[in-house]
Amino acid sequence: MNVKNVSKWCREFAAGRTEVHDVERSGRPSLSDETAAKVEQTMREDRRITLDDLCILVPEVSRSTIHRILTEKLQYRKACAKWVPRMLTEDHQRQRNRRRGMLSKGVSIFHDNARPHVACTTVALLQQFGWDIVTHPPYSPDLAPSDYHLFPKLKEHLAGTRFNNDDEVKDEVQRFLNGMAASWYDMGIQKLLQRLQKCIDRNGDYVEK
């Protein structure tokens, strides 16, 4: 149990709660469209959010109900620690499958539509270099080196460390990034080629490993 949940239960017991099981509530059923919409909106704001965190942010719904909303009603599942649609649309699959041969010629840059990436100066510079821009398909953390290679290792490195402020976090992350060998970053890029091929072989479906 994480620190947030421990704090939550301490507050509950201090307020007089004596049971750890959810008590019956009056009013609408917890698995309503309104509840599902609230859970989905909270999840969309941070696709890396955990069930424990959702329980804190949506306290009127039990953990099992939140899990049922995500997996049954909304049809989401975890891929590379992110919540993604269980079934990709045909359009999403086509976008993922379009990467065939993307690295077979010249230089290609693979990034999303974050504001710095699509700024006029950035686009002009990439055109000057003559690089092909390959956009990252939506709902595809399994095809993003940062999601399947970098973040899991960084999370492992930071686990159990307590920080007093944001600057300490930034400094530690920078030390981690500077301390990893170039070969480790290259390994993450090479894995992308394998994952792209698997994605193509599976007609655009998710690649778990």
- Which pLDDT does position 121 carry in this prediction? 76
pLDDT digits (tens, 9 = 90+) for 157-188: 999 899 999 999 999 999 999 999 999 999 98
Tell the residue number behind the tokens 């307590």, with chain if given: 162
Mean pLDDT of the region 6-28:
65
- Which pLDDT does position 78 carry in this prediction? 64
74 vs 35: CA distance, rounded Å: 11
45 vs 33: CA distance, rounded Å: 18
Count of other CB atoms within 10 angstroms of residue 148:
22
At 148, the amino acid letter reads Y
At the top level of CATH, which class does the domain 104-202 belong to? alpha beta
**90-97 helix and 182-201 helix, angle to the nearest 10 degrees:** 130
- Which pLDDT does position 1 carry in this prediction? 59
Mean pLDDT of the region 113-134:
69
- Which pLDDT does position 178 carry in this prediction? 92
Structure tokens belonging to residue 202: 């599976």
- Which pLDDT does position 85 carry in this prediction? 57
- Which pLDDT does position 208 carry in this prediction? 67
**pLDDT confidence tier of residue 205, bands split at 50, 70 and 90:** low
Q: In the chain, what are the domain boundaries?
A: 29-82, 104-202
pLDDT digits (tens, 9 = 90+) for 19-73: 665 555 554 445 677 888 888 888 878 777 788 888 888 888 888 888 888 887 7
Residue 127 pLDDT exceeds 80: no
Q: CA of 199: how far to CAs of 26, 137, 207, in Å?
A: 47, 12, 6
Mean pLDDT of the region 88-99:
57
Structure tokens belonging to residue 203: 């007609």
Calculate the CA 139 to chain-centre distance.
Answer: 9
- Which pLDDT does position 103 carry in this prediction? 46
Calculate the CA 204 to chain-centre distance.
Answer: 18
